[in-house]
Structure 1
Amino acid sequence: MKKTKLLIGVVVIATIGFFAIAADHIDAPAIAGGTSDITDIYGFQAQDTDNIVFVANVQGLISPANTAQAAFDENVLFEFNIDNNGDAVEDLVIQAIPRNGKMYFFGPTAPSQTGLNSSIVTSAMTNSVDITSYGTNAIVETNNDMRFFAGPRDDPFFMDFARYGEIIGGMATSFNNPGTDTFEGTNVMSVVVELPKTMVGSGDSVNLWVETKRKQ
């Protein structure tokens, strides 16, 4: 099965009390505005300090009026790539696939092949969660010491693009405080997994990047 893969940013996440983010809002021409377009990835220590949380947000700038109709594309697979030894090659992957109102998770597990040609991991530990509908309480599934969520959320990324344009254009030298949130009132589709730090490695940090793979 042929797939295309889109690499969207890499973050380094300390496994003790650190927050990291990589952002990219609809600026890749091949996928702009599409169901595989990744807006942000996040990694942070969970409320349970023995755990770490990974988040991938897709389909940015969904208006509240359109969010109820927004859905994960069943032809798109989401992959969290985890490098735990600093060589910029994924040692573990967590893959998520939407099917019939559920998000199915595979991993974390070592991929049989690294890089852009890695395949779907179907023999790894499997979990699933019902995809939360817009306007309803979040559905969170807990299993195998992991927690899972998938569904629409308010876009948490803050950026004052108007002010940014003024700075780039030489009409301003700094951002306002607090500034204007360009993404206020818009939503994204979120894929979230929380898992014990021991599942991702034994070091002080990991590298994380997220890819989307579209079935052709």
Structure 2
Amino acid sequence: MSDHFSGPAVMGDPSVDITDFYAFPSPERPGNLVLIMNVFPMATSQSLFSNVITHRFRVRPLRRSGGSLTQEPAEHTIDIRFGDAPEGTTVQKGQIATSDGREASFVVGKPFQLDRMRFFAGLISDPFFMDVEATLRTDISGKLSLNTAVNTVELRDVLSIVVEVPSAPIVELFGGVELIAAISETVVTRRGNPIRLERLGRPEIKNVIIANSARDPRTKDIELRDLYNREDAFALSNVYRPLYESRLDTNLAFWDGLDGHTAWSAGPDKPHPLRDLLIDDFLVLDLSRPFAPGGFLEIERALLANRSHMTAGGRWLDDDILDELLTLTVNGGQGERLGDGVDAPTKPASRIFPYVREPNRRADLPLPEFLRS
């Protein structure tokens, strides 16, 4: 699933497991940026946000040079921390703090506004949608086994953090640069230093592109996702980066070959053409562009084609990210649109804050097959 259960470590504590990350211009209030971090796969009414970690959004400016992006060191952050729920209740309170000086307290389940910043945290219907079993069959068999149209996440719930902030102060901090990189993280602090538990930029990098350890001789049978989760998305370790590159090269070549054709040719000992773009694992947005659904990977595709992008990019709640990623990796966007036949979430997103939808509160759902096996 998008980033649900993305490594053995986070499976031991679902409250630190980031399931999805979204970033998009507000459809309700132009000039605002919306950031959403969902955690706790298969959450219930009794699930709580972790009170020992910091939930963090990070945004940095990007410069485009031809077909590549260069990040710059300026950074805007938003930290959210939760307190423990009093005994016998599930009511949590918390604090939000931004790097430009906004601070506020909140109660989970109750939206609030401070100046132009809006915030919500609470249980919601999981907005992700995907046929996980079909994707796993494809990955294991080497044959396209999609289009079965079964949403593995149907009627599931997650815990969500939604922050909406004005874009103008961020652009001013970045010296007028409106092209940005955005990520989400869960971290703990020890002796003043952050220790990253998980981070997420683009969906399915870990669970689809990196997960399979059987094909690459250099990293065969090594579980890289826990290590990858602890990396700074903006500064990968020089020691471990070659391992991620090797895994990406091999697995991207596998996905490319599923239709019997090569869309992304690379010479011997040359990197896969998508590797360097995807290893910079963050959502890319243009804050000068208005809200529009369907922008996921559009800026990246424009870079690859050396053309101007047409949308704000990022990721909207209803974007069909699996179809976009499959089509890009398998046929380079030059053939039919590929997909799993699941085209919408349990509940389509709202165009009104907080954009996420009310929870399903289903206690009768069986464990998904991929977890049982």
Q: Deviations over 1:140-196 (max 9, x none)?
A: 10112100000111111111011112222337525317x111111211111110011
Larger CA deviation: 100-109 vs 155-164: 100-109
Partners of 2:99 and 2:153 in 1: CA distance: 32
Displacement of 1:50 in angstroms is: 1.1
Q: Distance in 1 between matches of 2:162 and 2:186?
A: 14
In the alignment, which residue of structure 2 is the partner of 1:131? Answer: 108
Displacement, 1:33? Answer: 4.6
* Distance of 1:174 and 1:38 partners within structure 2: 27
Q: Following TM superposition, by how much is the alpha carbon of 1:60 offset from its aligned partner in structure 2, in angstroms?
A: 0.9
Q: Check if 1:39 corresponds to 2:19.
A: yes
Structure 2 gaps, min length 5:
63-69, 85-91, 191-373
2:168 aligned residue (198, 202, 212): 198
TM-score, normalising length: structure 1? 0.71
* Distance in 2 separating the partners of 1:188 and 1:83: 27
Could you tell me how far apart the structure 2 residues matched to 1:23 and 1:44 are?
Answer: 17
Does residue 30 of the first structure (1) align with residue 9 of the second (2)? yes
Amino acid of the structure 1 residue aligned with 2:163: V
Higher helix share: 2
2:9 alignment partner, SS class? coil
Residue of structure 2 in register with 1:207 after alignment: 181
SS of structure 2 residue aligned to 1:147: strand
Cα displacement (A) at 1:129 = 2.2
The answer on 1:82 being equivalent to 2:49 is: no
The more displaced of 198-207 and 142-151 is: 198-207
CA distance in 1, matches of 2:74, 2:10: 24
Aligned residue runs from structure 1 range 46-125, under 5 A: 46=26, 47-62=28-43, 67-85=44-62, 86-87=70-71, 89=73, 91-99=75-83, 101-109=92-100, 124-125=101-102
Q: Is the 8 A contact 2:54 2:186 kept in 1?
A: yes
Q: Distance in 1 between matches of 2:158 and 2:121?
A: 11
Percent identity between the two aligned chains = 27
In the alignment, is the contact (CA less than 8 A) between 2:61 and 2:177 conserved in 1?
yes
Query: Given that residues 81 and 93 in structure 1 are in contact (C-alpha distance below 8 angstroms), is that contact kept between their aligned partners in structure 2?
Result: yes
Runs of 4+ in 1 over 3 A off after TM superposition: 169-172
Q: Under a length normalisation based on structure 2, what TM-score does the superposition of the two structures give?
A: 0.42
Cα pair 2:122 2:160 within 8 Å, conserved:
yes
* CA–CA separation in structure 1 for the residues paired with 2:188 and 2:139: 35
Q: 2: CA distance between counterparts of 1:89 and 1:170?
A: 43
Q: Name the SS of the counterpart of 1:165 in structure 2.
A: helix
In 1, distance between residues paired with 2:39 and 2:47? 11
State the distance in 1 between where 2:189 and 2:124 align: 25
Distance 1:199 1:28, change over 3 A: farther
Amino acid paired to 2:117? M
Provide the C-alpha distance between the structure 1 equivalents of 2:184 and 2:166, rounded to a whole number of angstroms: 19
Match of 1:136 in 2: none
Measure the CA separation in 1 of the matches of 2:24 and 2:105. Answer: 22
* Counterpart contact for 1:33–1:60, Cα < 8 Å: no
Deviation at 1:128, TM superposition (A): 2.6
Which has the higher mean CA deviation after the structures are superposed, 167-176 or 28-37? 167-176
What's the offset of the Cα at 1:23? 3.5
Structure 1 or 2, whichever has the larger Rg, is 2
The aligned residue for residue 17 of structure 1 is: none
Partner of 2:120: 149
Could you tell me how far apart the structure 2 residues matched to 1:24 and 1:88 are?
Answer: 26
Amino acid at match of 1:27: S
Q: What's the CA shift for 1:200?
A: 2.2
The structure-2 alpha-carbon separation of the partners of 1:166 and 1:31, relative to structure 1 and needing over 3 Å to count, comes to: closer
The offset of 1:39, in angstroms, is: 1.0
Rounded Cα–Cα distance in structure 2 between residues aligned with 1:102 and 1:52? 24
Whole-Å separation in 1 of the counterparts to 2:115 and 2:33: 14
Aligned residues: 170
The offset of 1:90, in angstroms, is: 5.7
2:137 touches 2:145 (CA, 8 Å); kept in 1?
no
Amino acid at match of 2:135: Y
Structure number with higher relative contact order (C-alpha < 8 Å, ≥ 6 residues apart): 1
